[in-house]
């Protein structure tokens, strides 16, 4: 299973880097100078435990990725960018893949459900910064954060269990 992290800012960057460090196959979608920095040198994650550089493929848009049936998409962009991201994911061939909103907001999951059947929500407790392209910092310890995850609009399933296992 590949994990597509869409929105490599502070939260998305910390999640993508930590998943990569843990041995998961991560594909990142970023833009601008952040995209350029990740492509060139990887993504540096600083935590209270130390600093490391994660190397994973960076893409500027979902259409650059050949979507696979067992991919999982984590949306980590800010809410105003969600609609455009969902439209691009849909155009790129995401259909039955789980789409997980790792965004603190009240409208993202309902919006995602207009495009996709397998939508999940998460409450994100991950204090993080992104000031310099290619570098993020997370301040939660000993893990980078805590997440409450569920199927939208309610319940749990095997995908929730897999997500919680990351």
Residue numbers of the chain with a pLDDT score lower than 70:
none
**pLDDT at site 105:** 84
**pLDDT at site 137:** 98
User: pTM for the whole thing?
Assistant: 0.96
Number of domains making up the chain:
1
Domain holding 11: CATH number?
A: 3.40.50.720
CA 147 – CA 163 distance, rounded (Å) = 10
**pLDDT at site 69:** 96
Query: Which residues constitute the domain of residue 119?
Result: 2-165
Beta strands in the chain (DSSP E): 2-6, 25-29, 43-47, 50-54, 58-59, 72-75, 99-101, 119-125, 128-132, 135-138, 146-151
């Amino acid at each position: 299973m590949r994990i597509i992290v869409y929105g490599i800012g502070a939260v998305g960057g910390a999640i993508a880097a930590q998943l990569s460090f843990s041995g998961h196959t991560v594909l990142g979608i970023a833009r601008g100078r952040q995209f350029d920095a990740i492509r060139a040198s990887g993504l540096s994650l600083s935590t209270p435990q130390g600093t490391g550089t994660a190397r994973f493929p960076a893409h500027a848009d979902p259409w650059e990725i050949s979507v696979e049936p067992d991919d999982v998409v984590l949306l980590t962009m800010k809410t105003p960018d969600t609609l455009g991201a969902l439209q691009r994911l849909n155009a790129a061939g995401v259909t039955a893949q789980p789409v997980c909103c790792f965004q603190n907001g009240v409208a993202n999951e309902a919006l995602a459900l207009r495009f996709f059947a397998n939508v999940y929500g998460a409450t994100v407790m991950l204090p993080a910064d992104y000031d310099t392209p290619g570098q993020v910092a997370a301040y939660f310890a000993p893990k980078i954060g805590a997440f409450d995850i569920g199927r939208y609009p309610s319940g749990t399933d095997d995908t929730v269990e897999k997500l919680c296992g990351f």
